[in-house]
Amino acid sequence: MNTNYQKYTEKLVKITDVNKAIAILGWDQEINMPEGGAAIRAQQIATLSGIAHELFTDHSMGDLLNELTNDPSLTPEQANNVAHSKQEFDKKTHLPASFVQKLSHSTSEGFQAWLAARKKNDFAVFAPFLEKMVNLKRQQANLLGFEKQPYNALLDEFEPNLQVAQLEVLFADVRQKISGLLAKIAAKPVPKNDFMFRFYAHQKQWDFGISLLKQIGYDFTYGRQDISTHPFTTDLGMQDVRVTTRINEHNFHEMTWSTLHEGGHGLYEQGLLPQNYGLPSGAYLSLSMHEAQSRLYENNVGRSKAFWQYNFPILQKIFPDNLQKISAEQFYAAANIVQPGFIRTSADEISYHFHIMIRYEIEKALIEGNLAVKDVPDIWNSLYKKYLNLTVKNDLEGCLQDVHWSHGLFGYFPTYSLGSFYAAQIFRAAEKAMPQLATEIQQGSLLGLNKWLRENIYQYGKKYSIDELCKKITGEELNLSAFIDYAEKKYTDLYNL
Ligand code: CO
């Protein structure tokens, strides 16, 4: 092999080893760490993050990447890896160390202020810190460079090449097509769902969750599940991918669909190729594509009739007191109740996209300088009225509900919606490629779907751009039609629209 490429690979593996050590410290912090360990853990993570950053932005790495960028002997896959690393190198070295420090300082400060503001249920406590953060993010956009508008530079951090122009088209479709569907559903009676909130014992839920993970093909030889306050997935390399869930004994929704969601994330990581460890071709494509995998299992599979035709009779046997008198149809309807609410994380799969659109509109206006921080609560509340016909009563259930802005995550929210839209397109392509898929799901057999996703998505890592991969799989660019078809068909049937 080309010796420079060999050196490059070795460097990346070393950096990834450090990053995965950081990941295990982060996982442990959420799962096992005693309360008093927080300070020393933060120091350890900061030290290792510094080491990883130095290793990657070192001038020898820069020289190596420059040489490799002009090396005609590389294979196309090698050249693609180098191009990705070069882009990342340029991004990381565009931000001076003093700026990165300022940003990291403002992030911890902002997070504390956000917690304090939530305690007092008062946005004004958080406002000066948010203002600082918005200014830093605008500086960041300028340092990174952008086309057309600064918000594009921030989008690019989370979804490479995503631009406002594309989001405007998608969200216009959300406004025009999804709001009609929401209005029709709102005119119908809410299906019976009290049985979802009866007593579901912790251990029985846990066991059922494990069986669901096994059913979708999550491999416990290379993974494990634990309990955490906020469910998440951590990968320590594709051979050690960990998921978490949470259990509420009086709400059956929480464990079930968060397990399927994180399971979908986990399947993606387990499906990356071990021989590409450390390389861009061995890393997930983008946040939207990651979220597409989780949403696909949570919604397209996990809220489908076929899935519960198989699983509901099993569930009935586990919880006879709660479900004996309930039919699979009733359970399916209760799993799919559409009811706009204030809180994004507990939103149904339809109204969810309005929550995202509202955040997108607000953060874009902040970054573009079209909205003053002090006006965020007013505009937030008026948009909830406009799109979801809800009167927000306080900041806690309004603009203080998400942690993202306190962490400086501007440009992140849109990837949540994109995940669902890609999931709909991908699932439709899977159904086309596997006419037997619905029958398989009805029989509790999801390994065919997993195999198809491994072959068509997981194994490629960053080999293709998301636009290329979407076209390769679905024949189309990202658009809302698959999602709308899916939603209209499903909810017309469920609600007799
Ligand atoms: Co997710």
Q: Is the pLDDT of residue 1 over 80?
A: no
Return the ∠ at Cα 465 (arms to 460 and 471), rounded to 5°. 90
Give the distance (Å) from ligand 1 centre to CA of residue 324: 33
Mean pLDDT to the nearest integer, 188-200:
96
Write out pLDDT tens, residues 444-489.
999 999 999 999 999 999 999 999 999 999 999 999 999 999 999 9
Q: How far is the CA of 132 from the centre of ligand 1 (A)?
A: 28
Residue carrying the six token digits 């990657």: 56
User: Over pLDDT 70: what percentage of the chain?
Assistant: 100
- In this predicted structure, the answer to whether residue 42 has a pLDDT above a threshold of 90 is no
Model pLDDT, residue 463:
96
The one catalytic residue among 262, 349, 361, 363: 262
Q: What are phi and psi of 242, to 5 degrees?
A: -110, 140
Query: Mean per-residue pLDDT for 432-451?
Result: 97
Instruction: Render 226-293 in DSSP notation, one character per residue.
Output: EE-SS--EEESSTT-EEEEE--BTTBHHHHHHHHHHHHHHHHHHHTS-GGGTTSGGGS-S-HHHHHHH
Instruction: Say whether pLDDT at 38 is over 90.
Output: no
Q: Which two tokens stand for residue 229?
A: 């306050």
Band (pLDDT 50/70/90 cuts) for residue 358 is very high
Q: What's residue 489's pLDDT?
A: 96
Distance 258 CA to ligand 1 centre (A): 9
**CA dist 118 → 10, 35, 240, 380, 497 (Å):** 46, 21, 36, 16, 40
Terminal Cα-to-Cα distance of the chain (whole angstroms): 62
If you search the block for the tokens 């846990």, which residue do you land on?
206
Tell if the pTM clears 0.85, that is, is over it: yes
Smallest CA-to-CA distance from 294 within 317, 269, 255, 263 is with 263
Q: How far is the CA of 7 from the centre of ligand 1 (A)?
A: 34
Between the alpha carbon of residue 294 and those of residues 13, 309, 386, the distances in Å are: 27, 21, 29
Which range, of 33-47, 193-207, 260-274, 364-378, averages the lowest pLDDT? 33-47
pLDDT at 98: 87
Which sign does the torsion angle of CA 386, 483, 242, 49 carry?
negative
Q: Which two tokens stand for residue 343?
A: 């809180």
Mean pLDDT for 293-319 is: 98
What confidence score (pLDDT) does residue 97 get? Answer: 82
What is the percentage of the chain residues whose pLDDT exceeds 90? 91
Between CA 218 and CA 204 the distance in angstroms is 19
Chain centre to alpha carbon of residue 464: 19
262 labelled catalytic:
yes
- Indicate the pLDDT class of residue 266, thresholds 50, 70 and 90: very high
